[in-house]
Structure 1
Amino acid sequence: MKILGIDTSSTVATAALLSEERLVAEYVLNNRHTHLEKLISMIDRLLTDADTELKELGAVAVAVGPGSFTGIRIGMACAQGLSHVCNIPLVGVNTLDALAYNLMHCGDLICPVVDAQRGEVYTCLYRWEEGELKRLWDYEVIRVERLIERLLELNSRTILVGDGAGLVTSALPEGLTAGEKITVAHRIFAMPRASSVAAAGLNDFLSGKTCNCFSIKPFYMRKSHAEEKWEEKYGKC
């Protein structure tokens, strides 16, 4: 059983091939605005280098958000195309869940934070318990300052992952430095990884949680800025 993982929900474009026994291959391109140009060729090279054909894939796992509206659509469109043409099951993986998988079996609290613009982040809180990832909060959009307050109230060490981590640490109260109660994962583990999307997707696949190219949906936690501006000008449809 091999599963292809895809994540283009941020400035990072990444693809990975995972089997039940090992990580076979992973490519990461941390270069803004190249997803549409690079994703297909990245996946093609990944599979070629891993001597794997599309027909050998048991599933495709793709990050469905929250994150960049355009990035999410690019990754999902690619996954839907592969699913439709090759009749491969899809697994939609929440971006925040996937980021928490970057720190598998970590003993501290894990708080993924994805930049939602306008001083807000998409976030959730997790803990690994007995080999399983437990979600402690609902997914939410929150002001950075309010998130810091809530994390400090926990009185536990929390590790941040995701592109919103810098927003959080830069807003820490005066006298509190990053690393005391709130710390950022190493930059290699703080960014999106398709291997984590694949790992989370494999877990869901084995639990029977799959969809197809028509039923998979993006996970948008709010309307895009363009949609909000349209409604301000023309009203809701």
Structure 2
Amino acid sequence: MTKVLGIDSSSIVAAAAVLSEEKLFAEYLVNNKKMHSEKMMPIVDKVLKDSETTAEELDVIGVAKGPGSFTGIRIGMACAQGIAHALDKPMIGINTLDGLSYNLIGSKTLICPIINAQRKEVYTSLYRWDEGKLNRLWDYRLIKADLLVQELFSLKEKVTVLGDGVFLLKEVLNVCCSGSDCDIIFANPAFSMPRASSIAAAALDRYAQGEKDTCFSIKPFYIRKSSAEEKQEERYGTKSRG
């Protein structure tokens, strides 16, 4: 039995979970104010205690690596890296969009996770579950919400959207569509936000396939440069590398 600790603080949600091939042992999720630097370690301690799992019994640490909140991603990554380093455990970084798609395992529709990127833009991709395997159909993208709506309608196929950027699509549509009204379906709020159990499930699948990182090799995935980096480029008229 492989035990995975999943961590996600890439959005307003701070969450941790312990999961194996057999069951979800424990999950703790707070969807409130961003105070991840104060919350993450107590949340991790709680799920380990409630799942009756010692840190040494963990086989791998899964963490949401972005895109999402720059600060939240860094906090979650640092927390996961610290645990992995202290225990000499492997890590697996899960793209936040991939993790959101695991919220809807087995969905018969296309899945479009949407993360608010500010400025009326969203981070997104497109997925389909096929015989228990998640297939990504688009590259990870940063796109204006109105352009995304146009692309989703052009698919001529039902697509379920979820994530903290859904409200931007609702603003564009100016109405909450149902499956009978249009091809865009909004996931139930209970399944729409990031979940650490989904990060853990994705990590478990990849670990079983032989994938793994270390606390030194794992890297965050941002897509967009941070505001500080953009301001620096504007000030000095240069573009940072990488």
TM-score class, shorter-chain normalisation, is over 0.9
Q: CA deviation at 1:226?
A: 1.8
The whole-number CA distance in structure 2 between the counterparts of 1:31 and 1:148 is: 28
- Would you say 1:41 and 2:24 are equivalent positions? no
Q: Are 2:158 and 2:183, in contact at CA under 8 Å, matched by a contact in 1?
A: yes
What is aligned with 2:144?
Answer: 143
- Would you say 1:110 and 2:111 are equivalent positions? yes
Corresponding residue to 2:204 among 202, 205, 209: 202
What is aligned with 2:177?
Answer: 178
CA distances 1:48-71 after superposition (whole Å, capped 9, x unpaired) = 111111100000000000000000
Corresponding residue to 2:226 among 224, 227, 236: 224
The whole-number CA distance in structure 2 between the counterparts of 1:105 and 1:41 is: 32
20 and 167 in structure 1: CA distance in 2 versus 1, 3 angstrom threshold: same
The whole-number CA distance in structure 1 between the counterparts of 2:237 and 2:158 is: 45
For residue 65 of structure 1, what is the amino acid of its counterpart? Answer: G
- Would you say 1:70 and 2:71 are equivalent positions? yes
Q: CA deviation at 1:234?
A: 2.3
RMSD value, Cα: 1.1
Which runs of 5 or more structure 1 residues have no equivalent in the other structure? none
Q: CA deviation at 1:177?
A: 4.9
The whole-number CA distance in structure 2 between the counterparts of 1:33 and 1:133 is: 30
Which runs of 5 or more structure 2 residues have no equivalent in the other structure? none
What is aligned with 1:81?
Answer: 82
Q: Match of 1:200, SS?
A: helix
Runs (4+) of structure 1 exceeding 3 A deviation are none
What is aligned with 1:234?
Answer: 236
For residue 39 of structure 1, what is the amino acid of its counterpart? Answer: M
What is aligned with 2:18?
Answer: 17
For residue 178 of structure 1, what is the amino acid of its counterpart? Answer: C
For residue 96 of structure 2, what is the amino acid of its counterpart? Answer: T
For residue 228 of structure 1, what is the amino acid of its counterpart? Answer: E
In the superposition, the TM-score normalised over structure 2's length comes to 0.95
The whole-number CA distance in structure 2 between the counterparts of 1:135 and 1:33 is: 30
Q: Aligned residues: percent identity?
A: 53
For residue 104 of structure 2, what is the amino acid of its counterpart? Answer: L
Q: CA deviation at 1:37?
A: 0.5
- Would you say 1:213 and 2:215 are equivalent positions? yes
The whole-number CA distance in structure 1 between the counterparts of 2:216 and 2:73 is: 16
The whole-number CA distance in structure 2 between the counterparts of 1:32 and 1:125 is: 29
How many residues matched?
235
What is aligned with 2:153?
Answer: 152
For residue 103 of structure 2, what is the amino acid of its counterpart? Answer: N
Q: CA deviation at 1:84?
A: 0.6
What is aligned with 1:166?
Answer: 167
The whole-number CA distance in structure 1 between the counterparts of 2:191 and 2:24 is: 16
